[in-house]
Amino acid sequence: MTDPAAPSSPDPTQVGPASWPRRTRRAWASGWGVFRGLPRSLRVSTYVVVGLVLVLLAGLVTATVVVRRPFPQTTGEASLPGLEGEVEVVRDDHGVPQLYGDSVEDLVRAQGYVQAQERFYEMDVRRHATAGRLAELFGEAALESDLVVRTMGWRRVAEEELGLLEPETRAALEAYSEGVNAYLDQHDPSEIAIEYTLLDLSGLDYRPADWTPVDSLAWLKAMAWDLRGNMSDEIDRVLTAADVGPERAAELWPPYPYDEHAPIVDQGAVVDDVFEQDAERGGSRNPVRPPWRADQVAALRAVGRGLEDLPAWLGRGDGVGSNSWVVDGEHSTTGAPILANDPHLGVGLPGVWMQMGLHCRTVSPACALDVAGFTFSGVPGVVIGHNADIAWGFTNLGPDVTDLYLERIDGDSWIQDGERRPLRTRTETVEVRDGDDVTLEVRATAHGPILSDVSEAIGRVADAEAADPPGGAVREGEELAVSLQWTALRPAPTADAILQLNLATDWDSFRAAASSFAVPAQNLVYADREGHIGYQAPGRIPIRKSGNDGRLPAAGWRSENDWTGDYLPFSSLPHVLDPEDGFVVTANQAVVAQDFPSFFTDDWDRGYRSQRIRDVLEDRFADGGTVSVGDMTDLQLDTASALGPVLTPYLLQQRMPGGYYTGGQRQLRDWDFTQPAEGPQSAAAAYFNVVWRTVLQQTFDDELSPEVRPDGGQRWWAVMERLLREPRDLWWDDVTTEDVVETRDDVLRQSMLDARDELTRLDAHDADDWEWGHLHRLELREQTLGDSGIAPVEWLVNRGGWKAGGGGSAVDATAWDAAEGYTVTAAPSMRMVVSLADLDDSRWINLTGVSGHPFHPHYTDQTDLWARGETLAWAFSPDAVRAAADDTMTLAPAEE
């Protein structure tokens, strides 16, 4: 079979949303910075676009001019109004910019200019999405997304947040916006991005509006939405119970294995509302769960489908996670802490992160910024990285910060505790390209906006007279609706935390910065040049009344299901400085032990990644060993499957027909449970993963509806661990086969036979030639035109074909959706390892590259390295940055 040796543009016959995995389509995985399936509306005027592309392809000179026109200036001098002094932009051979100036405002003003140079189109599309204005650019295909976002009111919340910020943060946001706008003022749209040229030729007369601080703040809402917790699980639990009943549905959400997978913080307790790391534990919860009827299930199913209309970079909260860990100097070869971080997000072009450094030439109280790391285009400052004193990393804490409520609506009122309460309403008008404006009436209860108004219409409940004795009755004339309560819909000064983290110098100032980080709630790991390491859990985590545990949508007509209106105090959130173990591991597992008094969630990641990292470190430290920067980067690439040792013995027990069908089983006999893209162990990994996917289909597809069928992730690993010990469990039986009761071994044997046939079809006839990386490919689609359905345009903006090792819930977490195929759906969006002994000895790599311009040398120049598991030297000191310089540009104040 054809197997390209190097990444290439995707096959034009295999593009578009229909070819992507379910999670990607449902997410519209997930992951920040990526749009898929959006611009189908462009097809109405694609002939001129296709013509343009053909002309470009036919005329090399014309193509070169048009494609290169938006490339950024990287040498010489450019004018930037508003600067007090010159800012020097030093780029290395991968285009990573390091900025040097004499004030914080000058630096963030220049940051806005430089990020607009590289990625303004990405920024522009993001702000349209977070404002519910995508339809202005892309027409009716984007309307449903706009209606959902307008209903939640992200931009309205961002506008309120602006007034809550510290003056220094507001000044930084203003300066950043001025830098972006200076670049826009100096360039026509065709000089900003080739996508604007294509949109212009499709008939859109458009020039980008000025950037504002609210545009930056609204993007943080998208980040919070992507990492919002268990909202999808709330819906899926109900839909699964509708398929198989509540008792069997509960079997598909196994509890967290506290005895097997250690929590992040295994010491301390809350004493008088303050967490003390050396205190004892205590506390419990026992809420009452609501009943469910067919009409309620229908309402939730409609909301679930409506949320699929959101763009992929806004995410569904599924399939994403992160690794971050830190070791102290006693356990490192350098004698100082080493910190590692690799957030797992959806894949696409451009990648979510842009590397950058912001440095005051002379660090002083007047200009204290000296930081480098990974930034969001559109947001000032560095989100993850290090400064001259401390380093920090993020993983998603994953608390339950969203609740869905079923609401009884009667006219302009909603019902609670038998009383009518007025609905809050407002009117939104959505402009639609090449179509009529759409007027939306947004309704909200005290819980939050009613999402069912903008999902598939459920109308009045068909069974309006059905009684619900435990929760009250939906009476004739009443409407059943679904509302959303979410911490991010209440204004908070999260943006303060970014600048404060950049300026923090020690544990106390780091914790002070973290206290402002409201949403999304994150695990923060910490290290400093003085040798300390630590962990802090920040974020707004709601306190619920006794009737609501957040696992299932709640009956909104009962006040006992409400939030109290308060959040867990920051002082009570888990934190630890210089833990007894000498290291901290966070990988989305449980934060605290089961008996911790405060409730976070029951839907933690079940800790396969975190425990693998802990086990590797503990093995190294057991005999006094230490780890180096290289050891930390190697651990980020660990592909070991925790499911492999559990399932493989059962597969080896099966009696297979001779010859052809023994090839896969033969590979498993010598498998070490790693999942490399290529090499001797790759054939076994390929066979195991194809068998795993087939086992899931044959076990569950006969009883579960398509929306809730297994994706193969960590929850399903936990489910299968129990089922394998129960060979005659009802789940093994195929309910569609009459007079036959299948057992575990029937399913495993048939899955192995089918997997052999599938690998012959997809990969190779000879089992020794199978490669996991042949099936498990990284394909990168550009955020809008990448799924336009226009093959030449997709060829222009998309890249793909990289072989990937790893898999879901491996440390090298390249997720794939077992319900759809093997293509990578989420992956480490970057990797970094910071050496606190010598910051110039640190390493980093981005999934894509600095540039957002197709065919720019830095569009995907880091992806080859990323796929091979390599990293780049991370220069930080002025001498190291200048030694690595490839281009230097000066931004100068505008002449009077």
Question: Is pLDDT of 281 > 80?
Answer: no
What is the pLDDT, as a whole number, of residue 269? 47
Residue type at 729? D
Under 8 Å between Cβ of 453 and 151: yes
216-255 pLDDT, tens per residue? 999 888 777 766 656 777 777 777 888 888 888 888 888 8
What is the pLDDT, as a whole number, of residue 37? 37
Question: Is pLDDT of 471 > 50?
Answer: no
> How many residues are present in the chain?
896
Question: Is pLDDT of 22 > 60?
Answer: no
Question: Is pLDDT of 803 > 90?
Answer: yes
Under 8 Å between Cβ of 176 and 110: no
Question: Is pLDDT of 745 > 90?
Answer: yes
**Percentage of residues in the chain having pLDDT higher than 90:** 60
User: pLDDT-based confidence at 144, cuts 50/70/90?
Assistant: confident
Instruction: Count Cβ atoms within 10 A of the Cβ of residue 769 and give its class: 0-12 exposed, 13-18 middle, 19 or more buried.
Output: middle
Q: Which domains does the chain have, with CATH numbers?
A: 22-75+105-213 (1.10.439.10), 644-673+678-775 (1.10.1400)
Question: Is pLDDT of 657 > 50?
Answer: yes
User: pLDDT-based confidence at 480, cuts 50/70/90?
Assistant: confident
C-alpha atoms less than 13 angstroms from C-alpha of 778 in its C-beta half-sphere: 29
Would the CA dihedral through 27, 29, 32, 37 be positive or negative? negative
Q: C-alpha dihedral over 314, 317, 319, 323, to 10 degrees?
A: 100
What is the pLDDT, as a whole number, of residue 283? 31
**Structural tokens at position 664:** 């896969």
For β-strands 353-360 and 799-803, DSSP reports them as unpaired
What is the pLDDT, as a whole number, of residue 305? 53
Question: Is pLDDT of 262 > 90?
Answer: no
C-alpha distance from residue 855 to each of 67, 291, 872 (Å):
7, 56, 21
Of 194-208, 307-321, 814-828, the range with the highest mean pLDDT is: 814-828
CA–CA dist 837, 627 (Å, integer) = 13
What is the pLDDT, as a whole number, of residue 466? 32
CA–CA dist 45, 48 (Å, integer) = 7
SS3 141: helix
**Residue that wins the pLDDT comparison between 245 and 761:** 761
**Mean of pLDDT values over 23-32:** 30
Instruction: Count Cβ atoms within 10 A of the Cβ of residue 788 and give its class: 0-12 exposed, 13-18 middle, 19 or more buried.
Output: buried
**Residue that wins the pLDDT comparison between 64 and 330:** 330
At how many degrees (to 10) do helices 644-652 and 744-762 cross? 100
Arithmetic mean of pLDDT over the chain? 84
**Residue that wins the pLDDT comparison between 577 and 554:** 577
Under 8 Å between Cβ of 240 and 708: yes
Tokens 């495993």 locate to: 748
CA–CA dist 644, 636 (Å, integer) = 19
Contacts of 6 (CB under 8 A, 6+ apart): 801, 864
Tokens 């319900």 locate to: 819
